[in-house]
Structure 1
């Protein structure tokens, strides 16, 4: 039987534990190991490295523990400074210290201009303060810092989402369970909300950095781009629920040819029908048996493109694949959204696109013409 994966605690839980450690320290009580009740009722014991005096008030340091989740913040220090504000009543004011981002685009769960400290961590901290003080109106200033966050944020979607300057303090409950597929998929959805809040009714779905980089080179609006990773079907559904009108699928043929085959979770260990799909449409376009065999023997889709070129079928087949991908995506969404598809090579060469993609491109001032 496989070993059970270990859970950890979120950056939000680290910050809440830091607040509790500071308040315990002020009361002359033990603070080295803080017991925290997560928002889902889970009991956590979180060790605290230190509590020290700073210019921002008493500050606690907690080392993030991610369990068996592959979290980039595992092992980093989360610093939480607490300062009492004047007055008998008030509220907790949250501030971003070093390495914590600030929200610059609407559409997220935190307002523009606010430190990117999500509602879950804020509620967890309020819960801690109420537990120790017996009141919910204790006026405090809480400053959260993750110095390593400036560099780590470059490995996240924060720059795309409009969170600048560092990481987000996240966590729905405070408990960090090993990242499920569902959790990762849900982490991609806020991109849609940000694009919609920026005024885009039509979006550009790029499976990854290759498609995004090429789309930017073609002057398509970055604010309308959404990275889907392998979860194209899930993201299509999420967009439809948010009343997106049109979607352009833009990316490397090796990824989007799978959509043409009706595959909407495109991880290569789950589904890999690339060469078979290209071969089927090449055969339908008149390719000889020998040519089809060469396609099926190709190592990559780039190799297969060379075969299509040799038989003078690349333009015909790639355009047909683009049309088929759009048709399959629209059918997947029960015709709720119009979809256009653009297929490109690794070098950014246009391989094929359908009429809807061309129409959407023109609406964005796209200068590239469909030569397929």
Structure 2
């Protein structure tokens, strides 16, 4: 119910933990098990129970089911818990069809599930974008039904509307075309862990390496990304949407280096990196005005200017007051570059570009 007009409502702190959810891989395993059970016995289990790699045994109600000669289909609705997952509420549908003797398990992409078109991913080019973890979960739960018998089956996974949902993911840049990926190593979605985003950052580096790119760019948002592409003339495949996860990108590049990296972002986020932060999201790392004011003092701010800076609490306002008197943005870029190089241990050449809110380059180092 909405509060009465003109009344302030004091929000209570959360008194219970965030609810976990289930990955697309776990949902696909549940739908596959339900379909295979119906194909083997004539009856669909509803709900259907599965076992996940860490021993969890979630139960999934079926959203719909159908069968015919030699095939059965079942679908479940993905529940991502309290995680803001793009696939929350999506239908995960699996068709299980009998294959030729000795064919084993064959995985195919149905409607809304992508196909791999570039090397560097843990799947071969031309394969359905059903990751190894979910494939293993599906197989384990099918074997529980078959009792150890042969599994000569074609497994087709579909997500109706998935191609439209995939437009909001990094799949296109990774060369996964036609829809979403079926993901999940453990089967469990931990709210706000952002594991899928970090995984996409890692896969972006893998694809860049496999396709021979020598220069990639990690940017914090669309404005900085567009300007970095313009600055360096980079192909879209070289662009990695790192958001605030600069630490995840740098640590992965340390073990999987490329010759060159550009980091691009707004002044406030790059100031956090310059101060040594590895997670630039506002909830994880707020801007430290005292650090910025100290940097301004190092650059020569004194007297009235320093007094005015000390009254400010926002990075944008500190930058505005510094104006043309101090090379604050350029120094933030240089310090951010030093922070990045310290993580990379010298294996990657780095430049850092800092932009204002309009997209104007105001600081560049390296």
Q: TM-score range by the shorter chain?
A: 0.7 to 0.9
1:65: which partner in 2? Answer: 79
Q: 2:355 aligns with which of 338, 344, 348?
A: 344
Partner Cα separation in structure 2 for residue 198 and residue 329 of structure 1:
24
1:152 paired with 2:165, answer yes
Is the Cα contact below 8 Å between 1:195 and 1:225 reproduced in 2?
Answer: no
Q: 1:286 aligns with which of 277, 291, 300?
A: 300
Q: 3-state DSSP class of the match of 1:130?
A: helix
1:266: which partner in 2? Answer: 280
Q: 1:313 aligns with which of 325, 334, 346?
A: 325
Q: 1:328 aligns with which of 336, 339, 352?
A: 339
Shift of 1:68: 2.9
Partner Cα separation in structure 1 for residue 30 and residue 198 of structure 2:
28
1:195: which partner in 2? Answer: 208
Partner Cα separation in structure 1 for residue 102 and residue 36 of structure 2:
17
Gaps of 5+ in 1: 357-372
Listed one character per residue, the Cα deviations across residues 148-178 of structure 1 (whole Å, up to 9, x for unaligned) are 2122212222223222221111111323343
1:241 paired with 2:252, answer no
CA 157–55 in structure 1, closer or farther in 2 if over 3 Å, else same: farther
Listed one character per residue, the Cα deviations across residues 288-319 of structure 1 (whole Å, up to 9, x for unaligned) are 3222333344564444343233xx335x3322
1:168 paired with 2:181, answer yes
Shift of 1:9: 2.2
1:133: which partner in 2? Answer: 146
**RMSD of aligned Cα (Å):** 2.6
Listed one character per residue, the Cα deviations across residues 245-302 of structure 1 (whole Å, up to 9, x for unaligned) are 3322112112112222222222224433454444333333333322233334456444
Q: 2:245 aligns with which of 226, 231, 234?
A: 231
Gaps of 5+ in 2: 1-13
Structure 2-normalised TM-score?
Answer: 0.86
Partner Cα separation in structure 1 for residue 272 and residue 200 of structure 2:
23
2:220: which partner in 1? Answer: 207
Shift of 1:135: 4.4
CA 95–30 in structure 1, closer or farther in 2 if over 3 Å, else same: closer
Is the Cα contact below 8 Å between 1:126 and 1:136 reproduced in 2?
Answer: no
1:109 paired with 2:119, answer no
Partner Cα separation in structure 2 for residue 155 and residue 278 of structure 1:
34
Partner Cα separation in structure 2 for residue 335 and residue 227 of structure 1:
23
State how many pairs are aligned: 351
Is the Cα contact below 8 Å between 2:319 and 2:328 reproduced in 1?
Answer: no
Q: 2:105 aligns with which of 89, 92, 100?
A: 92
Structure 1-normalised TM-score?
Answer: 0.84
Q: 3-state DSSP class of the match of 2:173?
A: helix
Shift of 1:99: 0.9
Partner Cα separation in structure 2 for residue 102 and residue 239 of structure 1:
26
Partner Cα separation in structure 1 for residue 144 and residue 189 of structure 2:
22
Listed one character per residue, the Cα deviations across residues 57-93 of structure 1 (whole Å, up to 9, x for unaligned) are 42112111223333222222111112212x3221121
Shift of 1:49: 2.6
Kindly indicate which of the two structures has a greater share of residues assigned to helix. Answer: 1
Partner Cα separation in structure 1 for residue 234 and residue 357 of structure 2:
18
1:51 paired with 2:65, answer yes
Is the Cα contact below 8 Å between 1:12 and 1:171 reproduced in 2?
Answer: yes
